[in-house]
Each structure stands twice: as C-alpha cells, then as structure tokens.
Structure 1
Amino acid sequence: MSIPGKATAVSTQSYFQQHANISTTTLPGLEWQISQAGFGSYRVTVGQKNHEQALRQALQNGINLIDTSSNYGDGGSERLIGRVLAELIDTGELNREQVVVISKVGYLQGFNYTLAEQRKQAGRPFPNLVKYAEGLDHCIHPDFLEDQLTRSLERLNLDTLDVYLLHNPEYYLSWAKRRPLPLDEARRTYYRRIRLAFEYLEQAVADGRIQSYGISSNSFPEPAHSYTFTNLSYIWQIAQEIRSDHHFRWVQLPVNLLETGAATEASQPEGQAVLQFARNHNLAVLINRPLNAIVQESLTRLADVLPPSYPATPEEVSTAVDSCVQLEKQFSSRHLPGLNLDEETNQQLLNYLSLGQMLEGNWDGFGTFQNWQDIRTRFILPRSQTVVEFLSNRPNLPAEAVLWLDEYVEAANIALAALSAFYQEQAAKRTARIQETAVAADPDWQANTLSQTAVRALRSTAGVSAVLVGMRHQRYVLDVLSDLTQPVTVKDRSASWQKMKLGSEL
C-alpha cells in the first residue's frame, strides 16, 4: 500500500518546531518550510546500507527536502527513498506531510532504454525521442512523462509527488547543435516541446499525482547567445499562457564558487541574472553541483584537500615515469619473446603494459586532482592489475621475468604515488586559494571548511531556496547539518558573486 498524503505548509512548519536550530526557507506561494540544504541522491541506491543510514539520519535531524530522479541508480534511488520514508512513517518518527519529495524525468538509460527499444519493436515508440548517445536517449513527451510518473510513484511508494521536474531538457538542443539545425528552428521546437510537457504536468496536478512542477537544466546559467541556453523568461511566459494560476514553481540549476553564471550572467530581461528573475517571479530555486565545479571540462571538488605527506617535484615524477618506460621496453625486448605467446596475446600484453608510455609527456596534463584520481581508478589501475595478474599466474614464468615483474610493480607504485602527491599538493593550494577568494568576496561566507563555505555562500544568497548536497555517507550529512546550525543573513549578494567571478578568473 502506498503512502498517502503530500507536503503541506502546516506540517513542514511543525517539522521545524522539533528542529528549531536548522536554517530554513519558506517558499513563497506554497508556504512550505524546507531546510536550506536538501538530500541529493544522485549516487544513492537501494541495497546500500550506508545510503539508507545517511538518509535516515538526515530526515531525523532537520533535513526535510529530498531530491532524486528516475535515472539515479536506474530507479534504485527512488526505491531506497520509498523504503526509508515508509519505515520512518510507520514508526511515527515522521509524517508524510512534513517532507518535500522531488523527482525528475527525461533520461532513458538502463531499464528505460530497454523499455523504449521494446516499444519501438512493438510499433508504439515514445514520440519525440532524442538519440543523444549510445545507450542514452532523452524524452519529455507526455506519453513518456505519464509512463515515468507512474513508475516513479510506485518506486517511491507515494500517492502524490510534491515536485516533478523535467530533467535536462536541453539535451534536445545539444542534439540539434550536432546535426546541425538552425538555432531559431531548434529553439522553436525546444520550447514547443516544453509547452506540451507543461500541459501534461498541469493535468497531473489536477489529477492529484503531483503538487507542482519545474525544470532542472544545466543551461539556465549559460550566456543568452549559447546554442544550448535555456531561457527562463520564455518558460515563464509559456506557463502563464497555459493558465494564469499555473503550478510551474521550481527551477534547478548548477551554481558554485567557480561556476557563478546563475548570479552573474545577465541573460534575462532588463539585464537580470537567472537567480534574480526567479526570485522576482517567486520561483523556488534548487542548486545542484554546489561542491563539484566543472570548469574547462575539468572537475574541481570544493572540499578541503590536505597537503601530501611527501610532496613530489616535477623532476621526481618524470624520473619515476622514465623508470617505468625503460622497464616496459626491457620487457618487450628481453622477456616477452621467451613467453611463447600468440601474436594477439603479445599485442594485448603490450597494450596493457604501458603505464610509463601512457604517462610519458602527458602526466602533467590531467588537470585537477579529481580528474587524476578518476583516470587512475577507472583506467590505469584496472589495466595494470590485469597484466600483473596475468604474468603472476603464468606457469613456469622464467626467473628473470619474475624479478623483472617485481621491479616493475615497485616502479609503477612509485610513479603512481609520486603523481598523486603532485596533484594533491596542487589541489591543496588551489582549494586554499578558493577559500581565501570566497571570504574576500564576502566575509559572511567564512566557515570551518571549504565545503561549508561553498554551501553557506549559496544558502545566504537571496533567491536560493535550497542547496542540494550529495549525502550518501553519514559524515556528509553531519558536515551539512553542522553548517545549517550556523545562522547567516539571507540577502542580495550579487556584488559578492561578481567579486567571486573576478577572483576566480585571476
């Protein structure tokens, strides 16, 4: 049996009588009271006990806003949320009406992608499907929205969803740009599709399946001339044309200390930034990626990084990489021929046994510490471990080859450790500079950690309703709760964000 009820003004306000020390926002029009930080569940999925514990801890201690999507964990995120909500409601620790639950729709990956392929084969495909990439489609047509809303409500175990967002509808514009379609034509089609979706969503409100709706778009903060720009003023006009008492109440977009466009880019009428326009039209604004800044296609994590115990100079890294290169050449010329492998296996071994060759001349081009860690974990280590295991398990491996393998493993470990230390030291200096720049831009943003400063900068900005923070571990929940107990004045901080933008560019 699904959970009846929906978020209400009275119950959300009563929730904070129990959690009076938590900083909150009251949403204009809806009058729901929500915590200034919400539980972001992008990497949260069912079956992970630590994820369940984190969500339970958040709901029990003053965070009453949950954000998810149908494609997070291929539906697993919604299932976990439904399970934890049911548990806390059954025990009387929580009322359904005290919590604001948000989900999103638009992506076809995993199960949804398979579903779409099956419908195509049956002769009833989802209309207006955008083929974005291999294994990834996108759609906001009412037929798809109807199917997905039903599935999301079932997974969440809810009768009514409080907020339903179109998830990155600008994928259509990215697709159109690659074709390429003339910009005017692409934009006409784009906003026509959004209008069609909004008409469906208004009916979903009338049917009691959702309370309100909106759009989550990464391109709201872009310059107006950008091909993929999503214009909030156009979308507001569409909602107004559908009905004057519409339920378009929410926008979600990325803002952080390095990506300031939503506060600094004058893309809306009368030179307003998108945050100003949303505030002037009583739209609730949810901030995503507050701690993950993507600048020039590199990820910077806005959290403190400690300096390495043993820093590595560029010369030390180069020397370590050169050692790997020399050992790889030695293997190819001296040891590989004696293994008597077929040509295909020989080639595969050489392709995988190429750590030094991959890094030579490129090791200082990975951008950020986070990028290096990602490449190391997802690409370098699996390849290196595969070839080491292959050689270690080879019967009758010559003694010279065994000695060589031991030497190579040691050299590879030294090279990887040196590179990690190099990037970690850079990251420690960079995060310290970001913290200094933020506090110089606005002294109110001073906090104990960079992650808390990043959240405080956003929640202190007028027009921001809540900051969505990924909280899949309890320590992340505690970090957010710690900052939410620190009151900060909410006011127009446009000047502070301009200073932050200029300071980051230096």
Structure 2
Amino acid sequence: MPVSRLATPEGTARYRGRFPHLPRDHFRTFYHLTVSSIGIGTYLGDLSEATDRMQEQALVDAVLGGINLIDTASTYRCQRAERAVGRALKRLEEEHGVTRDEIVVVTKGGLLAFDGAPPDDVAAWFHDSIAAPGLATLEDLAGGYSLLTLPFIQNALARSLENLGLPGVDVYLLHNVEMQLDRVAKGQMKDLITPLFAWLEGEADAGRVGRYGVATWDALRGDFKDPHYLSLAALQAMAKQAAGEGKRPRLGFVELPLNLGMAEGFTRFNQATGEGNVASAVMAAHQLGLTVLTSVPLMQGQLAAGVPEPLAALTPNLTHPAQHALQFARSTPGVGTAVVGLKAPEHVAQALAVAAVGPLKRQDYLTLFQRAE
C-alpha cells in the first residue's frame, strides 16, 4: 500500500473503527474525513527537552485514546512543538500501526518562529534569517512578530513539513492574520491575503496541503467596528478569486477562541453571510461551508478552577471543571473540533474521559444561555 501524504476518508474511517466503545457523535465528518470532536493542541510549555518528551508522549496517548486531530504551529515552542508532533507520528506508525492517513494534522504559519530557543540578538537574527534571504522586511512586520509576505509563508510551510517529517499537511492556517491590521488598512487585506490563498491553491494541487484557512484570536469575536475585525464572506471571496473561475476553492477552516469566558464566536452576531442574514462567526462559517476549530477551551487553565453549576449538572459523570469546560466548547453547535492543549498524563486522561461521554445535546447546550439571561 502506498504511503499517504494526507489523511484520507478510508484512513480516518479505519481510525474510527479502532474505537467501537466511543460514542458515535464523538466523531464528526467534514470533507469526507472522520475527525474527533476533541483535538490535541501543542501551544504551551517551556523550551526544555523534558517538555519535548512529555508533549510527544501526550500526542501518542491522545491518538491511541480516540483523538485524531493534532493542532500545532511553526511558532509554538520555537518549532519544538512541530518536531514533537513529527516524532509522535513516527512512533504511532512504527510502534502502534496507526498510519498517516488516519490522522488530521493542522499547522500554521505567519508568525516569527525561532529555532529551538529565542536568539540572544533578535534584530541580528531577523536580518540574517528573514531580511537577508528576502523573506520579508521590517516594514512587513506587524505587532512585533506577524509576517504575511508570500516568501515568508512559502518558507514557513517548507520548514513545517521538515519539522513534521511529512510530505503534506491536512490543514494549513495563516496565523493570526488580523495582526496585520496594525500596519495596513482593512481595504489592503485583500491584496495581502489573496496572493497567499492563490499560492495555497497551488500547494493543494501539489498535495502538500489538503485545505487551508485562517487562525484568529480576535478577528471573528469583535463587532463590525473592531480594528481587528475580519469578514468571513470577504475571506471566502478572496479564496474564490484565488482559485480562479470555475474552480471550488480549498479554503476550508477557520480557528477562533471559544470558551465559557470567550463565547463571542457563538453569541455575537457580527458576520454578514451574503445570504441576506447576519450570524455569529460559528454559524456564518457553517453557512459558508467552512469548518470551525476552536482554541483555548480552558482559557489557558483559568477555567480549570471551576465552571457554572448548570453546566456541570448537564454531565454529572464528568468530575473536573476542566472536563466541563472542554465539554462546553466541543458541544457548541457548528463547531467541528475543539482543540485543547495537553501534556500531562492526567490531562490527557481527563480529555479522553470527555470523549467517552459524547457531546451535549443541542437543546441542553442552549439552555445554558437561556439560564444566563
């Protein structure tokens, strides 16, 4: 059997078949792939080898337990996160027989990514690693670490594939694109993003990318007047232009924070869909045919201390506040996968326990907002 470059419908269905004991609705289908409703993230952690090993083992344990979406980025832990993912994928295949086509790999580019650790002299590093090779200039830099020039993104994807040890990634996201609005007008974002989408269409044709999209922090949560606000319909129009007439663009994913303390992606109606209505980011993405990934379900640990009693009461067989917070995010109507950062064995076990109970029913989830009124 030839080695797959990407996740496949057959491979992800085979992965689902490894877990007959898990609830059917723990897995979802998008773009013909069978994908877990919980994904493992790799953002946090120090730059030690001990953390490298812990992250690698957490990835292996999560995949062996029923999580087949891995979310990473070139900037995470100075590229060490991607390298841990690469080692984990190799172990999963060699030691456990879990093959590449069973796992959905998401990575991102668009932020500065140091090599293993921050350099002593960042200015010299920028000159030698970014400016001198022609990847970008200081004038292209926004917020101190956002770059969206085509040469920089081309280099970032190549570096990510090298770190991961893969010929292709299933999802490639432009990372925190709204940061560029600190240096360009909103009307200029089209000129910045459309060429990147056009290049990513070519990478999809070549099999190095399955789908592409954007990862955001505040672009999809604010109101129309927010300085960092972005329109999903406008992004889709850029992708259609990039793909060319008569072609369906491979724009497929958006990522945004969503948790009990940051629920605007579901509750704030701020996206005109072009279909005559205004919807929340999550609902608009669904209407536009985009899959939603959510981040920071625990609000980077803040929600591990406690959650509202009505939420805990809906899943009494989950005992830890972090589990209830994760359950909230993965149960949000319109969400494809909720990504949670995991390293410690006990945290992996807690996430897998959430997978074992299935998401909240839609009507139960919506009662949480009715009670809050």
Give the TM-score range, shorter chain: 0.7 to 0.9
2:5–2:208 Cα contact (<8 Å) kept: no
**Which residue is 1:290 aligned to?**
297
Is 1:258 equivalent to 2:261 in the alignment? yes
Distance 1:452 1:128, change over 3 A: same
**Which residue is 2:110 aligned to?**
106
Residue 309 of structure 2 aligns to a residue in which SS? helix
Q: TM-score, normalised by structure 2?
A: 0.86
Q: Which amino acid aligns with 2:311?
A: A
Q: Which amino acid aligns with 2:345?
A: Q
Shift of 1:187: 0.3
Supply the distance in 1 between the matched residues of 2:131 and 2:271 (Cα, whole angstroms).
43
What per-residue deviation string (whole Å, max 9, x for no partner) do you get for residues 31-61 of structure 1?
Answer: 1111111110002567332222211111111
Distance 1:480 1:230, change over 3 A: same
Supply the distance in 2 between the matched residues of 1:490 and 1:141 (Cα, whole angstroms).
43
**Which residue is 1:273 aligned to?**
280
1:249–1:283 Cα contact (<8 Å) kept: yes
Residue 302 of structure 1 aligns to a residue in which SS? helix
**Which residue is 1:159 aligned to?**
167
Write the mapping of 1:312-351 to structure 2, written as runs, cut at 5 A.
none
Supply the distance in 1 between the matched residues of 2:283 and 2:340 (Cα, whole angstroms).
22
- Same amino acid, percent of matched pairs: 26
1:77 pairs with one of 51, 58, 81: 81
Distance 1:204 1:234, change over 3 A: same
2:167–2:208 Cα contact (<8 Å) kept: yes
**Which residue is 1:236 aligned to?**
236
Residue 256 of structure 1 aligns to a residue in which SS? coil
Shift of 1:103: 0.4
**Which residue is 2:322 aligned to?**
451
Structure number, greater radius of gyration: 1
Is 1:170 equivalent to 2:41 in the alignment? no
Q: Which amino acid aligns with 2:232?
A: L
Residue 303 of structure 1 aligns to a residue in which SS? helix
Using the TM superposition, name which of 477-486 and 122-131 deviates more.
122-131
Distance 1:187 1:54, change over 3 A: same
Supply the distance in 1 between the matched residues of 2:262 and 2:325 (Cα, whole angstroms).
11
**Which residue is 1:43 aligned to?**
44
Supply the distance in 2 between the matched residues of 1:157 and 1:164 (Cα, whole angstroms).
15
**Which residue is 2:356 aligned to?**
485
Q: Which amino acid aligns with 2:250?
A: H
Write the mapping of 1:459-474 to structure 2, written as runs, cut at 5 A.
459-474=330-345
Distance 1:446 1:458, change over 3 A: farther
**Which residue is 1:65 aligned to?**
69
Residue 186 of structure 2 aligns to a residue in which SS? helix
**Which residue is 2:227 aligned to?**
227
1:56–1:84 Cα contact (<8 Å) kept: yes
1:256–1:290 Cα contact (<8 Å) kept: yes
Residue 107 of structure 1 aligns to a residue in which SS? coil
1:290–1:468 Cα contact (<8 Å) kept: yes
Unaligned residue ranges in structure 2 (runs of 5+)? none
Distance 1:210 1:495, change over 3 A: same
Shift of 1:282: 2.5
1:25 pairs with one of 24, 27, 31: 27
Supply the distance in 2 between the matched residues of 1:496 and 1:485 (Cα, whole angstroms).
22
2:134–2:151 Cα contact (<8 Å) kept: no
Shift of 1:458: 2.0
Shift of 1:27: 3.1
Shift of 1:123: 7.3
Distance 1:103 1:46, change over 3 A: farther
Runs of 4+ in 1 over 6 A off after TM superposition: none
What per-residue deviation string (whole Å, max 9, x for no partner) do you get for residues 438-486 of structure 1?
Answer: 358xx46984222111111222222111111111111111000011100
Shift of 1:172: 1.0
Q: TM-score, normalised by structure 1?
A: 0.65
1:128–1:141 Cα contact (<8 Å) kept: no
1:107–1:137 Cα contact (<8 Å) kept: yes
Supply the distance in 2 between the matched residues of 1:472 and 1:101 (Cα, whole angstroms).
17
Residue 94 of structure 1 aligns to a residue in which SS? coil
Supply the distance in 2 between the matched residues of 1:100 and 1:137 (Cα, whole angstroms).
27
Supply the distance in 2 between the matched residues of 1:439 and 1:474 (Cα, whole angstroms).
23
Distance 1:479 1:227, change over 3 A: same
What per-residue deviation string (whole Å, max 9, x for no partner) do you get for residues 153-189 of structure 1?
Answer: 011000111110001011112x23xxxxxxxx71011
**Which residue is 1:417 aligned to?**
none
Distance 1:73 1:120, change over 3 A: closer
Q: Which amino acid aligns with 1:288?
A: S
Distance 1:445 1:199, change over 3 A: farther
**Which residue is 2:149 aligned to?**
141
Q: How many residues align?
A: 352
Write the mapping of 1:173-188 to structure 2, written as runs, cut at 5 A.
173=181, 175-176=182-183, 186-188=185-187
**Which residue is 2:216 aligned to?**
217
Supply the distance in 2 between the matched residues of 1:106 and 1:256 (Cα, whole angstroms).
24
Unaligned residue ranges in structure 1 (runs of 5+)? 177-184, 294-299, 305-430
**Which residue is 1:192 aligned to?**
191
Q: Which amino acid aligns with 1:34?
A: V
Supply the distance in 2 between the matched residues of 1:238 and 1:490 (Cα, whole angstroms).
35
Shift of 1:73: 1.2
Supply the distance in 2 between the matched residues of 1:128 and 1:207 (Cα, whole angstroms).
31
What per-residue deviation string (whole Å, max 9, x for no partner) do you get for residues 297-346 of structure 1?
Answer: xxx71113xxxxxxxxxxxxxxxxxxxxxxxxxxxxxxxxxxxxxxxxxx
- Aligned CA RMSD, in angstroms, stands at 2.5
Shift of 1:496: 4.1
Distance 1:466 1:123, change over 3 A: closer
Q: Which amino acid aligns with 1:42?
A: Y
1:118 pairs with one of 115, 128, 131: 128
Supply the distance in 1 between the matched residues of 2:32 and 2:362 (Cα, whole angstroms).
19
Write the mapping of 1:400-419 to structure 2, written as runs, cut at 5 A.
none
Shift of 1:115: 5.4
Distance 1:493 1:142, change over 3 A: farther
Supply the distance in 2 between the matched residues of 1:241 and 1:493 (Cα, whole angstroms).
41
Q: Which amino acid aligns with 1:468?
A: V
**Which residue is 1:436 aligned to?**
309
1:161–1:209 Cα contact (<8 Å) kept: yes
